[in-house]
Chain A
Amino acid sequence: MTSRIDRVEISKVAKRYGTERALVNVSLELRAGSMCALLGHNGAGKTTLLGILSTLVRQNDGKVRYVGGGTEVEGDALRREIGLLAHSSLCYAELTARENLELVAGLYSIEGGTSAIEAVLDRVGLDARARDRLARTYSRGMLQRLSLARALLTRPSLVLLDEPFTGLDRGGALAFGAELAALRDGGAIVVVVTHDLEAIAGRTDHVAILRQGKLVFEERGTYDYEQLKDIYHRHAN
């Protein structure tokens, strides 16, 4: 019984690390079927906000509400709906692709067994011969595919991405951007933290810029690369 998230309400969230303020009074609303680009310089608080959204960081102040089907989604049910894609693969180097996904399937109670796993591996285009090799032997691109497969297998309704384009070449980044757009079109809430404006240009419909922990710009709309660059330079500094 899954309860898909269709809205995330972030209200007045604040986070400190010791004496440093990572986030100050951040309020934002995320909607289903949208891709939000979370931009800002290093240290602006983007990763912290993503951490809070993923429930791995507890905020000091403020509230985050995940709403699905009119009710609030919490706890285990909430985590079932969250998918994370980071710069690291989140997969065990000493297991094969199939074994990694079997573990995920077990932890997330995914039905469909092996066929679901094969289907998602096909979808991301991971070479069939590589699926039984240890992840340690994969190239960066293959790891990225495995990582994506891992995220797709659980069919998350809130997809959080932390610098997913790092290390990918131009073609790879654009292809990955297309994948994210597909997720968004499928109704998920996608949040991308990135510096690679080109990869998300034309795909995002919501831009939020953090500077020194504060939300300094937020707007919904489509932006091409030039527009994104312009907005970024104006607000992130």
Chain B
Amino acid sequence: MTRYLAPLFAFLGAIGLACTCWLIFTDTPLQYSWQPNNRHWVLATGSGSLFFNQKIFFWHVPHAIMLFIAVGVAGVSSIGFLWKRNPKWDDVALASVSVAVAFGAVTLITGSIWAKAAWGHWWIWEKRLTMSLLLWLTLVGYLLVRRYAGASGERIAAGMAVFAMIGVPFIYAMVGAGDNHPQAGSEGNVATLNSDMRPAFWSSMVTFLCWFLTLTITRVQSARMEREVRELREKGLDTGVLE
């Protein structure tokens, strides 16, 4: 049964991607621009509008949300690993972090492009970009530790993941309020997102959620298969069937 999970999500994701692109380019209006005063996306024409650049929102936000979800998954499965020492938990943590690093990179790059288009700078220190950067750095550290810390790498990295997960609320409180980051809707609430943009937004969320799950599940399954092959080989060596 679980064999079909990854292909299923991949398939859904592929459909979703097609839908999302269609919706983004045909269904959402071009002339939206961000009004810092009343924190709204309004139909605007002329030089205030973001035109095509606004479309990147549909890539950036889901990736950012997946980054946070991935940190949570990594943290929880690391707790499970440290408690039970069952390598299956560790597989999930590693897969989740690896995928999160990729998603984080996309978040930062799209965020940077958007920042350039909207505010003229390639990087700005505002809430969500800062949080994403910090989390991304921690996750890259996780991968470095796993690679270079030898046999204890798994445990130490698991510890990092737990600390990182617990640290998320602190990072959130730390970046403070009051900045120019466009909210999804007028109060940052997706429900208030301008209705024209909603179909594209939800479509992109589902697409990238499927994409995240596909990648993570594939990696977990690949790690498990590697382990099974290794165990079979060891059994073979032990019983003398293999040389």
Q: Which residues of A contact B (CB under 8 A)?
A: 17-19, 21, 24, 58, 60, 214
Give the Cβ gap from B230 to chain A, nearest Cβ, in Å: 6
Q: Is the CB of A19 within 8 A of B230?
A: yes
Chief secondary structure at chain B's binding surface: helix
Q: Is the CB of B151 within 8 A of A17?
A: yes
Give the residues in chain B near A214, CB-CB below 8 Å.
238
Contact of B85 among A17, A18, A60 (CB under 8 A): A60
Give the Cβ gap from A185 to chain B, nearest Cβ, in Å: 38
Q: Is the CB of B154 within 8 A of A18?
A: yes
Q: Is the CB of A21 within 8 A of B151?
A: no
Give the residues in chain B near A24, CB-CB below 8 Å.
234, 238
Q: How far is the CA of A141 from the CA of B153 in the complex (A)?
A: 36
Q: Is the CB of B234 within 8 A of A18?
A: no
Q: Is the CB of B151 within 8 A of A18?
A: yes
Give the residues in chain B near A21, CB-CB below 8 Å.
234
A-B Cβ contacts below 8 A, count: 12
Q: How far is the CA of A156 from the CA of B154 in the complex (A)?
A: 33
Give the residues in chain A near B238, CB-CB below 8 Å.
24, 214
Give the residues in chain A near B234, CB-CB below 8 Å.
21, 24
Additional 6 contacts, C-beta under 8 A, given A18-B154, A60-B85, A214-B238: A18-B150, A18-B153, A19-B230, A21-B234, A24-B238, A58-B85
Give the Cβ gap from B242 to chain A, nearest Cβ, in Å: 14
9 A-B pairs with least C-beta separation: A17-B151, A18-B151, A19-B230, A21-B234, A58-B85, A60-B85, A24-B238, A18-B154, A18-B153
Q: How far is the CA of A192 from the CA of B153 in the complex (A)?
A: 30
Give the Cβ gap from A61 to chain B, nearest Cβ, in Å: 10
Which residues B216-237 have CB closer than 8 A to chain A? 230, 234
Q: How far is the CA of A17 from the CA of B155 in the complex (A)?
A: 11
12 contacts between A and B (CB under 8 A): A17-B151, A18-B150, A18-B151, A18-B153, A18-B154, A19-B230, A21-B234, A24-B234, A24-B238, A58-B85, A60-B85, A214-B238
Give the Cβ gap from B142 to chain A, nearest Cβ, in Å: 16
Shortest Cβ distance from A21 into B: residue: B234
Shortest Cβ distance from A22 into B: residue: B151
Q: How far is the CA of A131 from the CA of B150 in the complex (A)?
A: 39
Q: How far is the CA of A28 from the CA of B45 in the complex (A)?
A: 82
B150-165 vs A, Cβ < 8 Å mask (1 yes, 0 no): 1101100000000000
Give the residues in chain B near A17, CB-CB below 8 Å.
151
Give the Cβ gap from B116 to chain A, nearest Cβ, in Å: 43
Give the residues in chain A near B151, CB-CB below 8 Å.
17-18
